[in-house]
Structures are given as structure tokens and as C-alpha cells.
Amino acid sequence: MRLEGVELRRVTMPLVAPFRTSFGTETTRDVLLVRVVTGAAEGWGECVAMSGPLYSPEYTEAAADVLRRFLIPALAAAPRLDAYAVGPALTPFKGHRMAKAALETAVLDAELREQGRPLARELGAVHERVPCGVSVGIMSSIGELLDAVGGYLEAGYRRIKLKIEPGWDVEPVRAVREHFGDVPLQVDANTAYLPSDARHLARLDPFGLLLIEQPLDEEDLLGHAELARRISTPVCLDESITSARTAAAAITLGAAAIVNVKPGRVGGYLEARRIHDVCVAHGVPVWCGGMLETGLGRAANVALAALPGFLLPGDTSASDRYYRTDLTAPFVLHDGHLPVPAGPGLGVEPLPEVLREVSTATEWIAL
Ligand code: NPQ
Ligand code: MG
């Protein structure tokens, strides 16, 4: 495969409603898209970094910068190009996994399109559709939360995840349990608690949650292991899991009974599959996280979520959870499931008129 060039494109997507987490409130999604052009095809990768370094150290401008200064030039110099050569070509550069993931995904998409092969098949998917969950932001009142959760259950979502933080945890969980009974329910703290909050978090035990996601600092594997001994809710890690190696360490330490797999956070879909494999070998269930992806990233996430170790519904929600108009043909929930794309590569492409409408800048890097 020969690379002719790479396009970096910025798009601004308004969210249907503000999304509040312990690290802030987002009203629009500022996305960096990577498009690679080869002799025979083009491929797309969506960078999941946020506009500020709030979820992880990466942010959109930094991702664009490292791609243009370091990652794309390194790829251009690589002797042999296919998706499996991208990771090794980029290993000299530390971190920046979301930027690396976007570039690798674009190359993988182009390669699979050239070969007429779907991403799901390439990754080892075993399902044609996947059950979907939804992530529900922190609200200004319990009433507002119950309206939101009721709407999602009505729409068919198979699992509800509540964002929590100190001051918004036991009461919202209690209210959802009281109103909606035994629905599959989990919580996500995005690192908002301290090890000294263990006794408080144990107050969630009676509600029979599927899991608590990333209660403590991303570097605190030992703290999560200790917390897991003090609460009965299974501890799931998100931010802490940056590679198959950290997944193995977290499992061995007893810091993760369940793992959230986000391809962007770990450097791409190939590393995401390795994490899946490590977890399956240890009997640790995984599920696919979400970063408010457009249809491009969503298509790839749904393909990944169809692997056999993905035993819990993911944050692979329908397009209309976040966007009135998606970049691609919308993903629509049927019976609480999304279909795994069956076409070559990602199996979806941006709608040209929508893409033009939401794009704020493009940059072509010829190779
Ligand atoms: C999580 N996602 O699991 C993340 C965090 C998150 C679906 O809960 C803009 C872009 C806003 C990415 C807010 C979900 C975001 C974002 C939250 C990611 O931790
Ligand atoms: Mg999370």
C-alpha cells in the first residue's frame, strides 16, 4: 500500500443536549478526522480527544500537532505500509495514543476497503448486532435524571450508566432503582473520588450495580485494588487501562474485575483487540466505551463490540443520543441493538453535504 497523502480535518458537532461529567460540561464535540489516501482507496480515522485535557492528557489541537509534526512524517518514512506496520513505526513517540489510534484506523480502513473486507471480520467479530447501553450525564435535579433515564429505557437501551461525582451518587442511584426497578445499572466516576471515600462508596453496595467505573485517579492501580476489597460493587477501569500491558497489571493486582475498552485511549483497534484477548484469557469481562464518536468512530466501535469477550452492553449508543445529524447515515437502535456494519473497512462513510457543513478547517499533507 502506498500513501499519497493525509488530510487532517476539524469538524464541530453540536450535541443534542449538554453532557455533564465530573470533569466538566460539553455542549459541542470538537472532532479531528484523519483521512488517508492511497493509490486505490481512502480511509477514515476519528480522533476521540476532547478539546481540552480533561479526560486524559490529550486534546484535539495537540493531536493535530503531533500528527503533523511527528506521526505522519514517521509513517511516510516507513519501508512497508499496512495497518500492522503503523504501531511499530510510531513507537519512538511516547503517549499520544488517541492521535496514533486515529492514524492507524485510517490506514486500516483504507487497507480493508482495498481488499473488500469488513473491520468486524478483521478483528474477529462473532455477532451481527450488539446490545447497547447509554451513558447519562450529571443532571441538575433527580426529576430531570428520571426523565432522561425513562426516555432511554423507552428507546430500548439495554443498560443505563449514570455519571457520578461526590454529591451526586447514592441519591441518583437510589432514585433510578426506586423508579425503574432491576434494570441493568452501572456508574462512572471519571476519577472523582479518593481512597478515603471507600466507606462512602460502599453505600452503593445495596443497589446491585453491574460495576463502578474508574472511581480513583488513573495512576492509582493499588488504590483500586484496595477499594475492590472494601466494596461489593465490581470495580471496572477506564482511564487507567492504556495498553494490554496495563490491563494485565490491573488484573493481576486485583484492580479490575471488568475492563472498559476504548480504542482511542489505548492507541487503536489492534491494541484494543489485544486487551480483549488478555481479558478473555483471565476471565475478565470487557465492554466497549464511548467518546461521543460520530458515525465513523461509532461504526468501528460496534465492530469491536461484536468480539466474543464483550460480555456487557457498551456505550455504543445510537447516533441520536448525541447528534441530531450524524456525519454518516445514522446508527438507529433496533430492539436495543445496533447492527455491525458489513461493508468493507468501517462500512460507513461521511455524507458529503453534512461533512462540508460541519467542517471548520482542512489541511492536506502530501507524502
Ligand atoms: C467515559 N464517555 O466513559 C466517557 C467520558 C467522556 C460516554 O461516558 C466530549 C468528548 C465529552 C468525550 C464526556 C461516556 C465527553 C467525552 C465524557 C468523554 O468516561
Ligand atoms: Mg468512563
Judge whether 100 counts as a catalytic residue.
Answer: no
pLDDT of 257: 98
From 42, 107, 20, select the one nearest 292 (Cα to Cα): 20
Interval 64-87 mean pLDDT: 94
Compute the distance from residue 289 Cα to the ligand 1 centre, in Å: 9
**Domains with residue ranges and CATH for the chain:** 3-116+349-366 (3.30.390.10), 121-339 (3.20.20.120)
Residues 261-278 have pLDDT tens digits of 999 999 999 999 999 999
Compute the distance from residue 238 Cα to the ligand 2 centre, in Å: 5
Cβ of 288 less than 6 Å from ligand 1 = no
Compute the distance from residue 247 Cα to the ligand 1 centre, in Å: 20
Q: How many CB atoms lie within 10 A of CB 356?
A: 10
Cβ of 188 less than 6 Å from ligand 1 = yes
**Is residue 78 pLDDT above 90, yes or no?**
no
Percent of the chain topping pLDDT 90: 98
**Is residue 80 pLDDT above 90, yes or no?**
no
- Residue from 94, 100, 161, 163 carrying the catalytic annotation: 163
User: Which of 292, 294, 323 has the most ligand 1 atoms within 8 A of CB, as the residue to mutate?
Assistant: 292
Ligand 1 atom 15, closest CA: 291
Distance CA 1, CA 305 (A): 28
Percent of the chain topping pLDDT 70: 100
Cβ of 50 less than 6 Å from ligand 1 = yes
Compute the distance from residue 25 Cα to the ligand 1 centre, in Å: 10
From 239, 236, 132, 134, select the one nearest 176 (Cα to Cα): 134
Cβ of 186 less than 6 Å from ligand 1 = no
Compute the mean pLDDT over every residue in the chain, rounded to the nearest whole number: 97
User: For residue 163, which ligand has an atom nearest its CA?
Assistant: 1
**Is residue 357 pLDDT above 90, yes or no?**
yes
Entry field: residues in the chain:
367
**Is residue 211 pLDDT above 80, yes or no?**
yes
- Please report which confidence band the pLDDT of residue 321 belongs to, taking 50, 70 and 90 as the band edges: very high
CA torsion, ordered 209, 157, 259, 216, to nearest 10 deg = -60
